[in-house]
Chains A and B, each alone.
Chain A
Amino acid sequence: MYSYSDFDEAFVRARVAQFTDQVNRRLDGSLTEDEFRPLRLMNGLYLQLHAYMLRVAIPYGTISPRQMRQLAMIADTWDKGYGHFTTRQNIQFNWPKLPDVPAILGALADVEMHAIQTSGNTVRNVTADHFAGAAADEIADPRPYAELLRQWSTDHPEFQFLPRKFKIAITGAPNDRAVTRAHDIGLRMVRNAAGEPGFEVIVGGGLGRTPMVGMTVRDFLPEADLLPYVEAVLSVYNVLGRRDNKYKARIKITLHETGKDAITRMIEDRFAELRPQFGGNDQTLLADIREAFAAPAFRTAPVDAYDAFYKADPVFRAWADTNLSQHRNPDYAIVTVSIKAHGATPGDATSDQMRLLADLAETYGHSDLRISHEQNVILPHVHKSDLPTVHAALVKAGLGTANVGLLSDIIACPGMDYCALATARSIPVAQELATHFEALKLEHEIGPLKIKISGCINACGHHHVGHIGILGLDRAGVENYQITLGGDGTEDAVIGEKTGPGFAYDAVIPAIERILRAYLGLRLEPSETFLQAFRRVGMDPFKTALYGGEGAQDAA
């Protein structure tokens, strides 16, 4: 993976020193909170409901064993022994104390990590396919481009005060695992007629208050044009984007207010101005970065042990069936480690679990780890003969849950258990859904299902693109949950449709059960997934299951 250059190192150290001084000046009263707030947010430090929260970037979700161990050390030394992996491939510490934050940032800098631009109206952590460099369906590893974008966007003087935050996602595979259509800029690798790789550029996607699927402004962008083109998009947005109204400030609104054709023209005009200014240094840099992401030296060894174990051990088989994905090397597998044990908090890993994952990556995984936007941890390169050993170690650490892609593999934002913006809780809803259906033993029968829960309209839990989405709201001082169905975060992105009136906290689990029992009753065959069945039959049968027959609206 990429290692910091002297420039990166000096920059991050300088920021730590600068923020250390700012914290000291806040603590001695030289800075007011109004003066300090934007400074701490630039360094990823929020004040939440019960404590401060530090959001640390994990660029494009790639992290080394050494970095993972340092996160564990930070969790033990300055927090409560765990960290929360987020839907933006970041990690959040929920209990840091303000005077300790400079030391935490110093410890992060020691392993080439930081919390810069994890908040504020800037280009945020660039996210990528968590199977990058390993997936069988990939055109190219998207991470070198993501790293190029990270370097370009970090402290970019023109884009530190954008109208609003700006999120870029990139995938190198046709099967979109990075939700690119729900980002301010989504980059999807495609090939042109000549077979050359380039990008489909999607602009103006986003969830939140006004969910929108992005629009394609360029069908094929040659890879050499990536930076000038992205800069052109940001430059047009920086001028047009509305700073008068926070709720209309994202580029998705700019795009709709300006019109796709007009904004595409403006982007292309700006691109024509910018392109000649890029003299090729970006491509030289990209070539250097690409070397850092060279594929590991894959091992050649027999995989018979795996095949035998798979046949013999039903627990291992269940795990292999759900948690492994196809690697581009047929002797290898991609392991998704579920951070969603039934009843646990989605995305929370203890320091011991982090250290174990680091050890496993080092011993069996070519020292590579990923954080997925679905809040799991990935070992992208595991030789099949090592899988039984890896599985046994995971099980011992409470990380062997065989539920990836199933009902209990739920995305949930921190919700009102932590977040100052939340309007309702999401974590306990996720916990109860997982334990409830585990007790019913229905999870495997239901099959592939993505449930996503947000505790407010800002949609950090991606509820709009959940096959079942749950949105927690405050209705007259009581938690109330709105359900959406049919959302999809893949290359065929769809925003889910509301079922109707919301449900009280105690009524939401029974409501989901009614939906899923209706699905089990109406599916054509076990292989028809919930999403396929919903697309076939539409909302009506589920409405009836939820609210009863015509006119019967018993839900709160």
Chain B
Amino acid sequence: MSRRFTPKVVTANRLREGDVVYLTADDRWTPHHHEAELIEDEAHAQMRLLHGSAQRLLVVGAYLADAKPGPKGPEPTHFREAFRTRGPSNYNHGKQADLVN
């Protein structure tokens, strides 16, 4: 039996600003990880990645990142992806500052 598929989200950076974004189920790019579509099926993940990658005027470097369900929505499982949801740890810059309001 093949290994169980780890749930994924589609993530990328915005073309103009470089900000980290996630693909939602209703085809928006959101800065909030918990609003991303949590994809539990491998074939569907590939379709969503293709859909995301095709939006060349909006995003750069789309890829599938591991995630898990949480109380508010999908949560990252790896520390790299956790950092991408916030910004750097040495300054209050990036999303941890920009998304407060």
Instruction: Please give the residue numbers on chain A whose beta carbons come within 8 Å of chain B beta carbons, in ascending order.
Output: 26-27, 29, 32-33, 47-52, 80, 94-95, 97-99, 345, 348, 416-418, 425, 427-428, 431, 474, 477-479
Contacting A52 at CB < 8 Å: which of B18, B57, B78? Answer: B18
Cβ of B84: which chain A residues have Cβ within 8 Å of it? Answer: 49-50
Measured in the bound complex, the distance between the Cα atoms of B89 and A425 in whole Å is 9
Would you give the shortest CB distance from B29 to chain A, in whole angstroms? 15
Q: Are A427 and B89 in contact (CB under 8 A)?
A: yes
Q: 25 A-B residue contacts at CB 8 Å? A: A27-B15, A27-B16, A27-B57, A33-B61, A47-B13, A48-B18, A49-B20, A49-B80, A49-B84, A50-B19, A50-B20, A50-B84, A51-B19, A51-B94, A52-B18, A80-B93, A97-B16, A97-B17, A98-B17, A417-B90, A418-B88, A427-B88, A431-B90, A477-B78, A479-B79
| Residue ID in chain A nearest B96 by CB atoms | A50
Tell me the complex Cα distance, A497–B88, Å: 30
Known: A94-B93, A417-B90. 11 other contacts (CB 8 A): A29-B56, A48-B18, A50-B19, A50-B93, A52-B18, A416-B79, A416-B80, A416-B83, A418-B88, A428-B90, A474-B80
**In the complex, B32 has a CB within 8 A of chain A:** no
- Write out the residue numbers on chain A whose beta carbons fall within 8 Å of the beta carbon of B46: none
Which B-chain residue is minimally distant from A422 (CB atoms)? Answer: B80
B18 touches which of A47, A80, A478 (Cβ 8 Å) = A47
User: From residue 45 to 87 of chain B, which have CB atoms closer than 8 A to chain A?
Assistant: 56-57, 60-61, 77-80, 83-84, 87
**Which residues of the partner chain A approach B56 to less than 8 Å between Cβ atoms?**
29, 32-33
Interface positions of B (Cβ within 8 A of A): 13, 15-20, 56-57, 60-61, 77-80, 83-84, 87-91, 93-95
Distance in Å from the Cβ of B6 to the closest Cβ of chain A? 12
Query: For the complex, what is the distance from the CA of A416 to the CA of B84, rounded to whole Å?
Result: 10
Are B88 and A417 neighbours in the complex by a CB distance under 8 Å? yes
**A427 (CB) vs chain B CBs: closest residue:** B90
Q: Do residues B95 and A50 form an inter-chain contact, with CB atoms below 8 A?
A: yes
Report chain B residues within 8 Å CB of A95: 18, 93
Which residue in chain B gives the minimum CB-CB distance to A49? B84
A430's nearest neighbour on chain B, judged by CB, is B90
How far is it, in angstroms, between the C-alpha of A33 and the C-alpha of B89 when the chains are bound? 29
CB closest residue in chain B, given A346 = B90
Residue of A nearest to B88 (CB): A417
Pairs of residues from A and B, 9 with the lowest C-beta to C-beta distance, nearest first? A417-B88, A51-B18, A52-B18, A50-B94, A427-B90, A345-B90, A97-B17, A428-B89, A29-B57
When distances are taken between beta carbons in the complex, the residues of chain A under 8 Å from B16 are 27, 97-99
